Amino acid sequence: MRKDETEQTAPENYEELIRLIHERHDEMSKTYQRISVFLTQNPNDVAVQSVNAIAERCDIHASSFVRFAQALGYKGFKELQTLFQKRLATAAPGFEARRKALESELQDRQDQSEYSFLRDLIVRDIASLQDILEKTIPEELALAADLIEEAENVYLVGQLRSAPVVELLRYILTMLGKRCILLDAGGGLATHMAKTMKAEDVLIAVSFRFYANEVVNIVEEAEKYNVPVVAISDSTLSPLAKSAKVLFAVPEHDYTFSRSLAAPMCLAQALTVAVAARVQHNTTEPRIPTVTGT
């Protein structure tokens, strides 16, 4: 960030701070961008952990966090952290207590067997699912379902680790009678197939760090042609965010081996159930048809 930004008035609440971070993100240094992503993805952790602990998790020196805060107008990181603590104090009752209990389970674990891997994954997935339940805005979920239900064609794109999410969406939406087009990376035709999208269609894009270039490019192309984009990503600072009509940010918790897909899969299923309720005119017991009919 530029030197003259240190003279600005610091944001007085969490919402203003996040808005400022989004405004300045593109012009920040790579280190500051990494700090920004962590702050927006892990607000609860920022509220309760020391700057040294946060810095260690990010593999960034603590002094960089101090300078980051100062560049936004604060005297130091502690002053910036106060906004996260105020936000947490008004969070859903019991949420932070549940999160801490899950963390304690992991820290107190003595078992090093294969079964412990399963247990750790499940405990962390529970925390991720609680996060997404707290952060998903009902109106945005409804808007995304409306866009998918009303679209002439549903285009889907997601590569590498995101591919299973779009495959699930394609399967269920196809069974619901939607015309789905998977922009598969195989054969190198995804970008060319994307050029057939129209404003009457919808693009569902899924991408997490480190974002696949082809997915980002297709999302940007969709915006140029006024194609509404429903995006599932890991942060509101994701490159998909600028072009998305609806963005679902699913923060990713640290994992020893691999980041889990439990939360984005759950979100994808919730979207399809909402679409089913509209297609079937049944808001109480929408059903997802299966290939076998059983």
Indicate the pTM of the whole model. Answer: 0.76
What does the alpha-carbon distance between residue 202 and residue 179 come to, in Å, rounded to a whole number?
11
pLDDT at 109: 59
**Over the stretch 215-268, which tens digit does the pLDDT of each residue have?**
999 999 999 999 999 999 988 888 898 899 999 998 766 554 567 889 999 999
Q: Is the pLDDT of residue 114 over 50?
A: yes
Among candidates 207, 201, 212, which has minimal Cα distance to 249?
207
**Over the stretch 164-192, which tens digit does the pLDDT of each residue have?**
999 999 999 999 999 999 998 877 889 99
Q: Identify the three-state secondary structure at position 158.
A: coil
Give me the amino acid identity at 6: T
What does the alpha-carbon distance between residue 176 and residue 202 come to, in Å, rounded to a whole number?
16
Rounded to the nearest angstrom, the gap between the alpha carbon of residue 76 and the centroid of all alpha carbons in its chain is 28
CA distances from 100 to 120, 248, 250 (A): 14, 24, 19
pLDDT at 257: 55
Which pair of structure tokens corresponds to residue 288? Answer: 């997802």
Percent pLDDT > 70 in the chain is: 86
CA distances from 35 to 95, 236, 246, 288 (A): 24, 13, 24, 41
Which pair of structure tokens corresponds to residue 29? Answer: 């240094």
The residue that leads in pLDDT, 62 or 102, is 62
Relative to beta strand 180-182, strand 246-249 is unpaired
Q: Is the pLDDT of residue 274 over 90?
A: yes
